[in-house]
Amino acid sequence: MLQKFKKHITKEFPFLKDTKLLIAISGGVDSVVLFHLLHKLNYDVSLAHCNFKLRGKESDLDEEFIKNLNQISANQIFTISFDTEKYAIENKLSTQIAARELRYNWFQKLITEHKFDYVLTAHHADDNLETFLIHLTRGSGLDGFTGIPKVNGNIVRPLLAFSRKEILNYAKDNDIEWREDASNASNKYIRNKIRHQVLPVLKEINPSILDSFATTIENLQESKQIIEDRIENIASEVLEKEANFIKIDIEKIKELSNSKAYLYQLLKSYHFTEWNDVYDLLNAQSGKQVFSKTHRLLKDRDVLILSKIDLSNSIEMAFQIEEEITEITNPIHLTFKEVIEKSTENKQTIYVDKDLLKYPLMLRKWEKGDYIYPLGMQGKKKLSKYFKDEKFSLIDKENTWLLCNAENQIMWIINHRQDRRFVKNKNLKISVLS
């Protein structure tokens, strides 16, 4: 296996040579063999071990075993303990997902602190097939069927081409010691059920199932690349990117052969889960919206507007501006300057009579019942009516700031319309800066 591994890593991972590597090592046969192989090939490797405190004394013995591997030779050995169950409860995660988050977050921290180039994990061909079957049982898009990636950022998996049997035989032939996790024998977890009950049957039906699966994965990855190329072309036609959001042209989406499939591909990276609700937006009334953990998708007339959720907008906020203030930079950039006469004409600047102002001024978002006496118009106007007439989307409304006096009277819909009640002598210039 050593020579096969040498050829494989030279061909598929030439970038690993002469780099600083960190091996994620559990103490199990897979990660221990990966360490031995790389050590024999004179790679610059260090080890990182997580004690998840899930198996009592056995977890501590795993950690002790890793520390003793220094006798074989590794540049550095890093260990850490986690209260995994507590983290899982606090973050409403399964124990397995919690452990994964803790593990990979720590790896990235080690990379930053100790200047490692890559983290290597010991996932192998059987792991890859198991993951595929897990996705199959749960339902998945193409992403779930293209296998564990060989390279994902700075995470590298050089054993994906090798079976569990090959790894185990290499360990036995070379008298390599490892730690056996008793939980791997339990069918409590779906992966173990697939490993112990499903894979043996598949291997009996087709002894070359892992080779066949590798070919299937390669074909699926090629198909995925074709789809991604197509989606990139479609995105340029149907998406309009602006500073804080993305507009999706509904009619252009509907003209496509399978609008749902295209919409999924365009939005899959934004963490939506209720996909039927997303698809329904294509024919919904304006104002309907769907949320993911990170983003909001809003139907606004003939477009869908995708925006990142800004938690600050869900909180009632007001910022006071005292009379002596000449400039603020948060939440927006405003300047205040006394002038003799009016000079600038644009929507980013207003002129008001300072004697008519009552301090402190206040910067806030719009509220139900707000109204303004628009400069250049008769009477007053509700902001809700103003927003409707000016075709403001819900997102536009939420991103609009109002400048008010101490009595909460609106002086300026910033960047849009000034109130005429405060413009008698126009000796105070207020400007918004980008």
At which of 254, 280, 309 does a domain end? Answer: 309
**183 in any annotated domain:** yes
On whether both 346 and 264 belong to a single domain, the answer is: no
User: Per-residue pLDDT tens for 260-299?
Assistant: 999 999 998 898 888 899 999 999 988 888 888 888 898 9
Residues 121, 116: Cα–Cα separation, whole Å: 14
DSSP per residue, 108-124: HHHHHHHT-SEEE----
The strand ranges marked E within 214-261 are 239-241, 245-249
How much is the mean pLDDT over the chain? Answer: 89
Residue 342: its pLDDT value, please? 82
**Any domain includes 393:** yes
Using pLDDT thresholds of 50, 70 and 90, give the confidence band for residue 139.
confident
CATH of the domain at 171: 3.40.50.620
Number of domains in the chain: 3
pTM: 0.64
Angle between helices 209-238 and 259-267 (to 10 degrees): 90
Q: Which residue range forms the structural domain that includes residue 22?
A: 2-205
pLDDT per residue over 163-214, tens digit each? Answer: 999 999 999 999 998 888 777 767 777 888 998 899 999 999 999 999 999 9
Cα angle at 97 between 96 and 101, to 5 degrees?
A: 120
Q: Do 146 and 131 contact (CB within 8 A), yes or no?
A: no
Q: Which residue has the tokens 């921290």?
A: 109
Q: Quick one: 184 and 303 in the same domain?
A: no
Residue 304 pLDDT exceeds 70: yes
Q: Are residues 244 and 177 in the same domain?
A: no
Rg (CA), the chain: 30
Q: Are 210 and 147 spatial neighbours (Cβ–Cβ below 8 Å)?
A: no
Residue 127 and residue 80 share a domain? yes
246 within some domain = yes
User: Are residues 304 and 338 located together in one domain of the fold?
Assistant: no
Residues 283 and 418 placed together within one structural domain of the fold: no
Co-location of 183 and 101 in the same domain: yes
Query: Cα–Cα distance between 403 and 101 in angstroms, integer?
Result: 44
246 and 387 inside one domain: no
